[in-house]
Protein backbone atom coordinates (compact mmCIF):
# COMPACT_ATOMS: atom_id res chain seq x y z
CA UNK A 1 0.00 0.00 0.00
CA UNK A 2 1.30 3.45 -0.94
CA UNK A 3 2.41 5.83 1.79
CA UNK A 4 -0.32 8.39 2.50
CA UNK A 5 0.60 12.08 2.58
CA UNK A 6 -1.50 15.08 3.53
CA UNK A 7 -0.24 18.34 2.02
CA UNK A 8 -1.98 21.52 3.17
CA UNK A 9 -1.94 24.77 1.23
CA UNK A 10 -2.13 22.74 -1.97
CA UNK A 11 -3.89 25.39 -4.05
CA UNK A 12 -0.69 27.24 -4.92
CA UNK A 13 3.05 27.63 -4.42
CA UNK A 14 5.01 25.12 -2.37
CA UNK A 15 1.95 23.10 -1.34
CA UNK A 16 0.76 22.64 -4.90
CA UNK A 17 4.21 21.73 -6.24
CA UNK A 18 4.78 19.28 -3.39
CA UNK A 19 1.42 17.55 -3.76
CA UNK A 20 1.96 17.02 -7.51
CA UNK A 21 5.60 15.97 -7.15
CA UNK A 22 4.89 13.41 -4.44
CA UNK A 23 1.87 12.01 -6.29
CA UNK A 24 3.99 11.59 -9.41
CA UNK A 25 6.58 9.81 -7.23
CA UNK A 26 4.08 7.14 -6.19
CA UNK A 27 2.71 8.50 -2.92
CA UNK A 28 -1.01 8.48 -2.06
CA UNK A 29 -1.43 12.25 -1.76
CA UNK A 30 -4.28 14.31 -0.37
CA UNK A 31 -3.99 17.97 -1.35
CA UNK A 32 -5.95 20.22 0.99
CA UNK A 33 -6.91 23.87 0.71
CA UNK A 34 -9.75 26.20 1.61
CA UNK A 35 -10.47 26.99 -2.03
CA UNK A 36 -11.43 23.52 -3.23
CA UNK A 37 -12.22 24.82 -6.71
CA UNK A 38 -8.53 25.75 -7.04
CA UNK A 39 -7.33 22.25 -6.21
CA UNK A 40 -9.68 20.23 -8.42
CA UNK A 41 -7.06 20.39 -11.18
CA UNK A 42 -4.67 18.48 -8.92
CA UNK A 43 -6.73 15.36 -9.48
CA UNK A 44 -5.39 15.19 -13.05
CA UNK A 45 -1.98 14.53 -11.42
CA UNK A 46 -3.33 11.80 -9.15
CA UNK A 47 -3.77 14.04 -6.10
CA UNK A 48 -6.98 13.64 -4.08
CA UNK A 49 -8.44 17.12 -3.53
CA UNK A 50 -9.92 17.73 -0.09
CA UNK A 51 -11.47 20.87 1.39
CA UNK A 52 -9.77 22.33 4.45
CA UNK A 53 -10.23 25.66 6.21
CA UNK A 54 -7.39 25.49 8.68
CA UNK A 55 -8.91 28.28 10.81
CA UNK A 56 -12.04 26.22 11.56
CA UNK A 57 -11.64 23.24 13.88
CA UNK A 58 -14.63 21.38 12.46
CA UNK A 59 -13.07 21.59 8.99
CA UNK A 60 -9.71 20.34 10.27
CA UNK A 61 -11.31 17.40 12.10
CA UNK A 62 -13.48 16.54 9.08
CA UNK A 63 -10.47 16.59 6.74
CA UNK A 64 -8.41 14.26 8.94
CA UNK A 65 -11.34 11.91 9.58
CA UNK A 66 -12.04 11.62 5.85
CA UNK A 67 -8.45 10.60 5.18
CA UNK A 68 -8.50 8.11 8.06
CA UNK A 69 -11.73 6.65 6.67
CA UNK A 70 -10.40 6.32 3.13
CA UNK A 71 -6.69 5.58 3.64
CA UNK A 72 -6.52 4.32 7.22
CA UNK A 73 -3.90 6.76 8.41
CA UNK A 74 -1.71 9.76 7.58
CA UNK A 75 1.90 8.63 7.29
CA UNK A 76 3.32 12.01 6.34
CA UNK A 77 1.94 15.45 7.17
CA UNK A 78 3.28 18.40 5.19
CA UNK A 79 2.13 21.65 6.80
CA UNK A 80 2.42 24.06 3.89
CA UNK A 81 -0.66 26.25 4.35
CA UNK A 82 0.46 29.77 5.12
CA UNK A 83 -0.36 33.46 4.94
CA UNK A 84 2.17 36.23 4.32
CA UNK A 85 0.47 39.43 5.47
CA UNK A 86 2.52 42.52 6.14
CA UNK A 87 2.27 45.94 7.75
CA UNK A 88 3.81 47.89 10.61
CA UNK A 89 2.95 46.34 13.97
CA UNK A 90 1.25 49.57 15.05
CA UNK A 91 -0.98 49.52 11.97
CA UNK A 92 -2.06 45.88 11.73
CA UNK A 93 -5.55 45.23 13.17
CA UNK A 94 -5.49 42.54 15.84
CA UNK A 95 -8.15 40.59 13.95
CA UNK A 96 -5.73 40.32 11.02
CA UNK A 97 -2.93 39.26 13.37
CA UNK A 98 -5.06 36.54 14.95
CA UNK A 99 -6.11 35.24 11.54
CA UNK A 100 -2.49 34.98 10.43
CA UNK A 101 -1.50 33.14 13.61
CA UNK A 102 -4.49 30.81 13.22
CA UNK A 103 -3.31 29.84 9.74
CA UNK A 104 0.46 29.79 10.22
CA UNK A 105 0.69 28.38 13.75
CA UNK A 106 -2.46 27.16 15.50
CA UNK A 107 -3.80 25.35 12.43
CA UNK A 108 -0.47 23.58 12.06
CA UNK A 109 -0.50 22.54 15.72
CA UNK A 110 -4.09 21.25 15.50
CA UNK A 111 -3.36 19.09 12.47
CA UNK A 112 -0.35 17.62 14.25
CA UNK A 113 -2.49 16.85 17.31
CA UNK A 114 -4.98 14.95 15.17
CA UNK A 115 -2.40 13.05 13.11
CA UNK A 116 -0.16 11.96 15.98
CA UNK A 117 -2.28 9.23 17.64
CA UNK A 118 -2.32 7.06 14.49
CA UNK A 119 1.36 7.78 13.82
CA UNK A 120 2.19 6.63 17.36
CA UNK A 121 0.06 3.54 16.96
CA UNK A 122 1.90 2.65 13.75
CA UNK A 123 5.32 3.50 15.15
CA UNK A 124 5.98 5.62 12.10
CA UNK A 125 5.37 9.15 10.89
CA UNK A 126 6.92 12.19 9.27
CA UNK A 127 5.87 15.75 10.12
CA UNK A 128 7.17 18.44 7.78
CA UNK A 129 6.66 22.05 8.85
CA UNK A 130 7.28 24.80 6.30
CA UNK A 131 9.11 27.65 7.95
CA UNK A 132 11.11 30.26 6.04
CA UNK A 133 14.23 32.37 6.15
CA UNK A 134 11.68 34.50 8.01
CA UNK A 135 11.75 31.95 10.83
CA UNK A 136 15.28 33.10 11.67
CA UNK A 137 15.47 36.60 10.14
CA UNK A 138 12.95 39.31 10.99
CA UNK A 139 12.20 42.02 8.43
CA UNK A 140 10.48 45.29 9.31
CA UNK A 141 6.79 45.38 8.41
CA UNK A 142 6.50 41.63 8.91
CA UNK A 143 6.10 41.30 12.69
CA UNK A 144 3.21 38.84 12.69
CA UNK A 145 4.44 36.74 9.78
CA UNK A 146 7.89 36.41 11.34
CA UNK A 147 6.41 35.77 14.78
CA UNK A 148 4.48 32.83 13.31
CA UNK A 149 7.53 31.38 11.56
CA UNK A 150 9.83 31.86 14.56
CA UNK A 151 7.12 29.99 16.51
CA UNK A 152 7.08 27.15 13.97
CA UNK A 153 10.83 26.75 14.45
CA UNK A 154 10.44 26.51 18.23
CA UNK A 155 7.38 24.28 18.08
CA UNK A 156 9.22 21.89 15.78
CA UNK A 157 12.27 21.72 18.05
CA UNK A 158 10.12 20.84 21.05
CA UNK A 159 7.92 18.40 19.15
CA UNK A 160 10.88 16.59 17.60
CA UNK A 161 12.07 15.31 20.98
CA UNK A 162 8.55 14.57 22.23
CA UNK A 163 7.72 12.19 19.38
CA UNK A 164 11.11 10.68 18.53
CA UNK A 165 10.58 7.74 20.93
CA UNK A 166 7.51 6.76 18.89
CA UNK A 167 9.38 6.52 15.57
CA UNK A 168 8.17 9.88 14.32
CA UNK A 169 10.46 12.42 12.64
CA UNK A 170 9.91 16.19 12.59
CA UNK A 171 11.54 18.32 9.91
CA UNK A 172 11.61 22.04 9.22
CA UNK A 173 11.91 23.38 5.67
CA UNK A 174 13.43 26.86 5.31
CA UNK A 175 12.79 28.35 1.87
CA UNK A 176 14.06 31.70 0.70
CA UNK A 177 11.99 33.71 -1.78
CA UNK A 178 9.84 31.22 -3.69
CA UNK A 179 7.62 31.90 -6.67
CA UNK A 180 4.04 32.02 -5.40
CA UNK A 181 1.17 34.42 -4.92
CA UNK A 182 2.34 35.08 -1.34
CA UNK A 183 4.92 37.74 -2.27
CA UNK A 184 2.45 39.65 -4.45
CA UNK A 185 -0.33 39.39 -1.85
CA UNK A 186 2.03 40.44 0.92
CA UNK A 187 3.11 43.56 -0.96
CA UNK A 188 -0.54 44.47 -1.58
CA UNK A 189 -1.30 44.06 2.13
CA UNK A 190 1.66 46.24 3.04
CA UNK A 191 0.48 49.04 0.75
CA UNK A 192 -3.07 48.78 2.10
CA UNK A 193 -2.14 48.70 5.78
CA UNK A 194 0.90 50.96 6.05
CA UNK A 195 1.21 52.67 2.66
CA UNK A 196 -0.38 55.90 3.92
CA UNK A 197 0.64 55.93 7.58
CA UNK A 198 3.69 57.37 9.34
CA UNK A 199 5.48 54.20 8.19
CA UNK A 200 4.85 54.85 4.49
CA UNK A 201 8.48 55.61 3.58
CA UNK A 202 9.73 52.38 5.11
CA UNK A 203 6.77 50.52 3.61
CA UNK A 204 7.76 51.75 0.14
CA UNK A 205 11.35 50.63 0.66
CA UNK A 206 10.26 47.21 1.88
CA UNK A 207 7.91 46.90 -1.10
CA UNK A 208 10.83 47.53 -3.48
CA UNK A 209 12.84 44.86 -1.69
CA UNK A 210 9.94 42.39 -2.11
CA UNK A 211 9.89 43.18 -5.83
CA UNK A 212 13.57 42.27 -5.97
CA UNK A 213 12.87 39.05 -4.06
CA UNK A 214 10.12 38.15 -6.51
CA UNK A 215 12.44 38.69 -9.46
CA UNK A 216 15.01 36.33 -7.98
CA UNK A 217 12.66 33.79 -6.41
CA UNK A 218 13.24 30.09 -6.96
CA UNK A 219 10.65 27.69 -8.34
CA UNK A 220 8.47 25.88 -5.82
CA UNK A 221 9.51 22.52 -7.25
CA UNK A 222 12.93 23.04 -5.64
CA UNK A 223 11.27 23.03 -2.23
CA UNK A 224 9.17 20.01 -3.17
CA UNK A 225 12.38 18.13 -3.94
CA UNK A 226 13.84 19.13 -0.56
CA UNK A 227 10.73 17.78 1.14
CA UNK A 228 10.96 14.49 -0.77
CA UNK A 229 14.63 14.16 0.21
CA UNK A 230 13.69 14.69 3.85
CA UNK A 231 10.82 12.23 4.04
CA UNK A 232 12.81 9.54 2.24
CA UNK A 233 15.96 9.90 4.33
CA UNK A 234 16.58 7.08 6.82
CA UNK A 235 17.93 9.61 9.30
CA UNK A 236 16.47 12.97 8.18
CA UNK A 237 18.00 16.30 9.04
CA UNK A 238 16.13 18.50 11.48
CA UNK A 239 16.22 21.36 8.95
CA UNK A 240 16.45 21.60 5.17
CA UNK A 241 17.49 24.98 3.78
CA UNK A 242 16.76 26.10 0.25
CA UNK A 243 19.81 27.20 -1.74
CA UNK A 244 18.73 30.85 -1.71
CA UNK A 245 18.18 30.79 2.06
CA UNK A 246 21.72 29.84 3.00
CA UNK A 247 23.47 33.25 2.66
CA UNK A 248 20.97 35.10 4.86
CA UNK A 249 20.85 32.34 7.46
CA UNK A 250 24.64 32.17 7.62
CA UNK A 251 24.97 35.94 8.06
CA UNK A 252 22.28 35.92 10.74
CA UNK A 253 24.17 33.23 12.61
CA UNK A 254 27.56 34.95 12.39
CA UNK A 255 26.81 38.65 12.84
CA UNK A 256 25.83 40.51 16.03
CA UNK A 257 22.25 41.78 16.01
CA UNK A 258 22.97 45.45 15.37
CA UNK A 259 25.48 44.79 12.62
CA UNK A 260 23.01 42.45 10.95
CA UNK A 261 20.30 45.12 11.31
CA UNK A 262 22.50 47.67 9.51
CA UNK A 263 23.25 45.25 6.73
CA UNK A 264 19.55 44.44 6.37
CA UNK A 265 18.39 48.05 6.32
CA UNK A 266 21.10 49.02 3.82
CA UNK A 267 19.37 46.70 1.35
CA UNK A 268 16.24 48.84 1.61
CA UNK A 269 17.71 52.22 0.72
Domain annotation for the chain: domains and CATH numbers: 4-266 (3.40.50.720)
Q: Which of 11, 85, 156, 248 is catalytic?
A: 11
Pairwise pLDDT comparison (29 vs 245), residue with the higher score: 29
How buried is 269 (Cβ within 10 angstroms: 0-12 exposed, 13-18 middle, 19+ buried)?
exposed
Q: Are 132 and 149 in contact (CB under 8 A)?
A: yes
Q: What is the pLDDT of residue 216?
A: 77
**pTM for this one?**
0.94
Confidence of residue 189 (pLDDT cuts 50, 70, 90): confident
Summarize pLDDT for 23-59 with one digit per residue, the tens: 999 999 999 999 778 889 999 999 999 999 999 999 9
Q: One of 21, 30, 145, 240 is an active-site residue; which one?
A: 145
- Closest-CA residue to 52 (of 61, 44, 43): 61
Can 12 be counted among the known catalytic residues?
no
Please confirm, yes or no, whether 131 is among the known catalytic residues: yes
- Per the annotation, the verdict on 208 as an active-site residue is no
Helices (H), 25-142: 36-39, 57-71, 94-101, 107-122
Catalytic residue among 16, 48, 149, 179: 149
145: annotated active-site residue: yes
Amino acid sequence: MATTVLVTGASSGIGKATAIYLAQSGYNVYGAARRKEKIQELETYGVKAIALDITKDESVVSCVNQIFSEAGNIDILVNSAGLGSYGALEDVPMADARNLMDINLFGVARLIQLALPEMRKNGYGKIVNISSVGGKVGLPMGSWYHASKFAIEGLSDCLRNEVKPFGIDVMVIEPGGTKSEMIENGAADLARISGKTVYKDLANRVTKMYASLAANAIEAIEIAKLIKNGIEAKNPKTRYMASNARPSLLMRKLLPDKLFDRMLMNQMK
